[in-house]
Structure 1
Amino acid sequence: MQLSEEDEDDYNLSLSKFESMLKTNKVLFFDSEEFEEIILHYLDMGKASLAKKALKLALEQHPKSTGLKLVQVEMLVYDDKLDIAEKMLNELFAIEPHNEEIYIQKANIYSKRDNHEKAVELLKMALKYTDDYADVYNLMGMEYLFMDNLELAKESFIKCLEEDLEDQSALYNVVYCFEFLDQNEEAIEYLNKYIDKNPYSEIAWHQVGRLNYGLKKYEEALRAFDYSTLIDDEFLGAFMEKAKTLERLKRYEEAIESYNRTIELDDPTSYALLRIGKCHEKLGNKALALKFFNKTVHEDPLLDKGWIAITDFYVRQKNYKKALFYVNKALSIDNQNRFYWKRFATINKEMNLFEEAEFGYRKAVEYGDYQLDTWLFWVDILQFQGEFESAIQTLLQASEYFPEEYEVEYRLAGLYFMIHNDKKGKFHLSNGLRLNFKNHTLLEELFPAVWLRRMVQNAIKKDKK
C-alpha cells in the first residue's frame, strides 16, 4: 500500500512514539489501527519479538478489536500454530461473517497445510466481500502456482493486473507463467497490450526485451531495452541485457558502453568485466581484452569463465607456454574443474607433451566431461603411446554414452585388430560400416597397417555391395 506524505509522517510518528515508550517503560495510548501498522512493520522487518510485544500491549488496550485479533492470527500462522489460529478465526467468523480478511487468513492456513484447492475456494469467497480485488487475485495466482496449474495462475495474475497495473510481483509472475507454458509470443503480445495502458513501466519493457532476446529477435529486444533504460536510467538489469543484445548484433563498442554503465551503477561484476574483454577481443583490441580478462579473475578467482577466457586468448595467439601458465594457475584454485583439465590436455597435446595431455583428458573425464571429442582425443593419445588395452577400455566406457557412434566403432575395430583379436575387430568394423560407410577411411588414417589387411579390405568390399 502506497502511503500519502501525510500518512507517512503519522506512521513514522507512531513508530518513534512506540519505540520511545519501550525505552522509558511509560505506557502510552495508541488507537488500534496505529498498533496494526506498528506490528506489521516489525513483522516485515523480521523483528518478531518486537511485533509480539506490540501485539500484547495492543490487545491490552483494545481487547475487542477484530483487526488486532486478525493480526494475532497472522502471527500464529507465521509461527505454524495453525490449530489455535483456526479456532480464533472460527470465533471471529461468528461475529463478522462478511470480513474478507477472515477468509484470506483461513486460506493461508489451508495453504500451509498443502490443501491449495480449499485455499482457492476460500479466496473466491473473499472476492465477494473485498475492496482489494488485486490482492486476492494475487493470492489465488500463488495458490494455483503451488498446484502447478499455470493456466489458472496466469489468469489470476492477469486479473490482478487489471485491478492494479502497478503490481510488479504480479507482472513478473504472469510472465513466468507464459514462459513456463512455452507461450513466449503470447507473452510479448500480452505485455504490448499492458504497455499500451502503462507505457512507463520499465519492468514491462525489460520483459519484452528479454522475451524477444530468447526468440533471437535482437533488434526488437534492443528497442525494448532502450525504452526500459530511458524510463529508469539506473535499471542495472536492463543495461546488462541491452549490452548482451548489442553483442549479438556485433555492435561491440556500444555493448562496452552498456556494460560500463552497469559498473557505474554497482560494483563491477566479473561477468561484465569478462564480456567487456570479449568485446575488445572482437574489436581487435588485444591488450585491452587481456586487461579485462585479468580484471575478471582478480574480481572473482573462482569464475572458471575468466580463466578459460585468458587461456583461450593465448591459445588463439598460439602462445602455448603462456596458456599453460594460466591454466595451471586456474587448476591451483580448482583442480576438479573439467573445463580446466580439458584445456590443460589440449595445450599439452599442442606442445607434444603427450603424457601430460593423456593425464589431462583422463582428469577431464573423471570430473564429468563426457563430450565425444574428449574421449576420442584421450584414446588417440593412448593409441599413439601404444597403450592399446587402455585405449580399448576407454572406448568401451565411451560407448556407454555413445552407443551408436561410428568414430568409436572404427577405433575399436582398429585397436582389436592391433592386438590380434580379429573376431572383435570384425564385429566393430561391421558396426562402423553399418553406421557410416562413407567415413570408413577413418580406419586408414588411424590404423594404416590394419587398413592393408586382406580381411579388412574384403569386409569393406562386401559391405559396399
Structure 2
Amino acid sequence: MPFGSNEEYNLPIAKFESMLKTNTVFFFDSTDFEHIITYYLDEGKVAKAKKATQIGLEQHPTSSELKLLEVEILIFENKLDKAEALLEDLEEICAHNVELYIQKANIFSKKDMHQKAIQTLKQALAVNGEDPAADILSMIGMEFLFLEDYANAKDYFLEALKEDHLDYAALYNVVFCYEYLADHDGCITFLNDFLEVNPYCEVAWHQLGKQYAAKKLYKESLSAFEFAIISDDSFIGAYFEKGKILEKLKRYNEAIDNYEYTLELDDPTSFAYLRIGKCHEKLGNLDLAKQNYYKTVHEDPLLDKGWLAITDFYYRLENFQKAKYYIQKAINIDEDNVLYWKRSAEIHKQLSMFEEADIAYKKTIELGNYELDTWVSWADILTHLGENDTAIVTLLQGLEFYPEDSGIEYRLAALYYLMHEDIKGQYHLTNALEHNYDGHELASKLFPAIFDRPTVKNIITKFKKAS
C-alpha cells in the first residue's frame, strides 16, 4: 500500500519513538534523521532533537546537514563557542550551503552583532541564487527591527511577502513597522493592495480594520472586520474587534451578539464577559451587566479590569460600601496595582473615611501615579484632617509636575495664609491669578475664611485692575 506524503513524513518519527521506548537501535537514512530532528525542534522537544542528532551522526558521521542541525541546537542552548567552532569546520566542506550562513547569522544576532548578521544573511541570499527565500528576507527584516531601523525592516518584510504571500508573520511585521512609523495611511494603502491579490486573507482584513479604527474611520473599519469574518467565520479576533467598533457606534445589542458568538466558538474569555457587561450597562440592563462582570472575574480572578468594572458598577450606583468591599478584594489579589489604590482612595473619600483615603492616596503616589487629581485630592484630604504642613508638602510636590496649575497654587496660597505665612500665601495667590484669574471663585468656596479676608480680596481686585 503506497503512503501519502504525511505518512512518509510521520513514519520515521513513529519508528524513532518506538526505538526510544524499546531501547533498540534502528537504521535511518540521513534525510529521515533531518525530518526527525526538525520535527522535534519545531515541537520544542530539544532533548529528543539532541538524541536524534547524536544517533544520526553516529550512523552518518559525514553528513553536513546533520552537523548544521547540531549547530542549530547548540545556538538554541546558547553554546555559541561550540557552534562557531563546528561552523568553521563545516565551512571547508559546504561553503555553498545556505544553512551555513543562516546559522552564522543566528550566532551574530545572539551576540547583538546585528549588522554582521545582516551582511551574512545577504550572503545567504546570494548563495541561494535568483530565487530568494522568504524566510531569509524575513530574518533580515528581524535584524533591522533589532536595530530599530523600521523603514528597512519594512522593506525586507515586504519582499518576503512577495515571495510568500501566506507568510503571516511577515504580514504582521509589515503592519508593525508601518504603525511604529506612524504611517497609518501607508499601511492602509499596502493592505488594500495586498487584498487585491489575496482577497480572502482574513489576517489582512483584520489588520486593515484596526488601521481604519486607529483613524476613527469606523464605517470602513466595520466593513473590513466583516470581510475578515466572511473569509474565516471562526476568526474570533475579528468578532472581538467588530464588537468594539459597534460599541463605539453605540450599537450595543449588535456588539453583544458578536461577543457572545465568540463564547460559542471557543472557551469563554474574561474579555468577552467584560465587554458584554459594559454593553448591558450602557443599555441600562443592570442585572445582566452585573452578572457578566461577575463572570469576568470568575473566568480570570487576576484581571484588574474585571474587579474595577464591578467596583465602578457599584460606585456609579453610589453603593460605596459594596464598592469598598470589591476594591479591597482586588487589592488583596494585587497590592501593587496603582489603579486599585486610587479607586480605593476615591471610595473612602465618598464614605468620609478620610484617614483610609489618606493611606490609599499615599500608596497611589508611592506606586507612581502622579496625575494632577491625585495630588490635589490627597492634599484636600490632608487639609480636612488638619495636616496642613503635610498638605503643603504634597502640593509642592505636585507643583513640580504641574507648575502652571492654578488649582494647586490657590490651595497653597490658602494653606500658607492659614499657617500665618502671608508672604508665601501672597506669592502663590499671585501665581494662581496669573494662570487662571476666574479660579479664585472656586478657591473661595473651598477656603471661604481665607478669601473673605480684606487683604486677600484687595490682592484679587488689584490684579483685576492691573490686567
**Taking structure 2 as the reference length, what is the TM-score of the superposition?**
0.91
TM-fit CA distance, 1:277: 0.7
> Aligned match of 1:19 in 3, 10, 17?
17
1:118 maps to 116
2:96 maps to 98
Contact 1:133 1:160 in 2 (8 A): yes
Correspondences of 1:215-254 after superposition (within 5 Å): 215-254=215-254
Q: For residues 287-324 of structure 1, give each alpha carbon's deviation from its aligned partner in whole angstroms, at most 9, with x where no partner exists.
A: 11111112222233333322322232223223334333
- Choose 97-106 or 148-157, whichever is displaced more: 97-106
Q: What is the CA–CA distance in structure 2 between the aligned matches of 1:80 and 1:221, rounded to whole Å?
A: 44
Correspondences of 1:448-463 after superposition (within 5 Å): 448-463=448-463
Correspondences of 1:7-46 after superposition (within 5 Å): 7-46=5-44
2:282 maps to 282
Matched AA of 1:127: L
Q: What is the CA–CA distance in structure 1 between the aligned matches of 2:94 and 2:459, rounded to whole Å?
A: 90
How many residues align? The count is: 461
Q: For residues 437-458 of structure 1, give each alpha carbon's deviation from its aligned partner in whole angstroms, at most 9, with x where no partner exists.
A: 2322233222222223232222
Correspondences of 1:13-412 after superposition (within 5 Å): 13-130=11-128, 131=131, 133-412=133-412
Q: For residues 151-179 of structure 1, give each alpha carbon's deviation from its aligned partner in whole angstroms, at most 9, with x where no partner exists.
A: 11111111111011111111111111111
Q: What is the CA–CA distance in structure 2 between the aligned matches of 1:170 and 1:49, rounded to whole Å?
A: 29
User: Using a 3 Å threshold, how does the CA distance of structure 1 residues 405 and 105 change in structure 2: closer, same or farther?
Assistant: same
TM-fit CA distance, 1:142: 1.5
SS at match of 1:438: helix
TM-fit CA distance, 1:337: 4.0
User: Using a 3 Å threshold, how does the CA distance of structure 1 residues 113 and 461 change in structure 2: closer, same or farther?
Assistant: same
Contact 1:410 1:442 in 2 (8 A): no
User: Using a 3 Å threshold, how does the CA distance of structure 1 residues 330 and 78 change in structure 2: closer, same or farther?
Assistant: closer
User: Using a 3 Å threshold, how does the CA distance of structure 1 residues 265 and 387 change in structure 2: closer, same or farther?
Assistant: same
Matched AA of 1:420: H
Q: For residues 192-236 of structure 1, give each alpha carbon's deviation from its aligned partner in whole angstroms, at most 9, with x where no partner exists.
A: 111111111111111111222222222111111111122222222
Matched AA of 1:117: Q
Q: What is the CA–CA distance in structure 2 between the aligned matches of 1:313 and 1:441, rounded to whole Å?
A: 33
- Choose 215-224 or 329-338, whichever is displaced more: 329-338
Q: What is the CA–CA distance in structure 2 between the aligned matches of 1:333 and 1:142, rounded to whole Å?
A: 38
Q: What is the CA–CA distance in structure 1 between the aligned matches of 2:329 and 2:59, rounded to whole Å?
A: 67
- Choose 421-430 or 439-448, whichever is displaced more: 439-448
TM-fit CA distance, 1:365: 3.5
Q: What is the CA–CA distance in structure 2 between the aligned matches of 1:79 and 1:354, rounded to whole Å?
A: 56
Q: What is the CA–CA distance in structure 1 between the aligned matches of 2:135 and 2:222, rounded to whole Å?
A: 33
Contact 1:210 1:221 in 2 (8 A): yes
- Choose 304-313 or 214-223, whichever is displaced more: 304-313
After the TM superposition, list the runs of 4 or more consecutive aligned residues in structure 1 that deviate by more than 6 angstroms.
Answer: none
TM-fit CA distance, 1:360: 4.2
Contact 1:276 1:289 in 2 (8 A): yes
Matched AA of 2:455: M
- Choose 51-60 or 160-169, whichever is displaced more: 51-60
- Choose 363-372 or 133-142, whichever is displaced more: 363-372
SS at match of 1:441: helix
- Choose 160-169 or 255-264, whichever is displaced more: 255-264
Matched AA of 2:261: R
Extract unaligned runs of 5+ from structure 2: none
2:444 maps to 444
Matched AA of 1:10: E
Identity of aligned pairs, percent? 53
Q: What is the CA–CA distance in structure 2 between the aligned matches of 1:150 and 1:323, rounded to whole Å?
A: 46
User: Using a 3 Å threshold, how does the CA distance of structure 1 residues 16 and 371 change in structure 2: closer, same or farther?
Assistant: same
SS at match of 2:437: coil
Q: What is the CA–CA distance in structure 1 between the aligned matches of 2:82 and 2:181, rounded to whole Å?
A: 39
Q: What is the CA–CA distance in structure 2 between the aligned matches of 1:124 and 1:334, rounded to whole Å?
A: 49
**Taking structure 1 as the reference length, what is the TM-score of the superposition?**
0.91
TM-fit CA distance, 1:357: 4.2
Matched AA of 2:41: L
Q: What is the CA–CA distance in structure 1 between the aligned matches of 2:357 and 2:229, rounded to whole Å?
A: 48
Q: What is the CA–CA distance in structure 1 between the aligned matches of 2:358 and 2:81, rounded to whole Å?
A: 65
SS at match of 2:78: coil
Q: What is the CA–CA distance in structure 2 between the aligned matches of 1:102 and 1:355, rounded to whole Å?
A: 68
TM-fit CA distance, 1:362: 4.0
Matched AA of 2:186: E
Matched AA of 1:142: M
Contact 1:178 1:187 in 2 (8 A): yes
Extract unaligned runs of 5+ from structure 1: none
Cα-Cα RMSD: 2.4
User: Using a 3 Å threshold, how does the CA distance of structure 1 residues 114 and 343 change in structure 2: closer, same or farther?
Assistant: closer
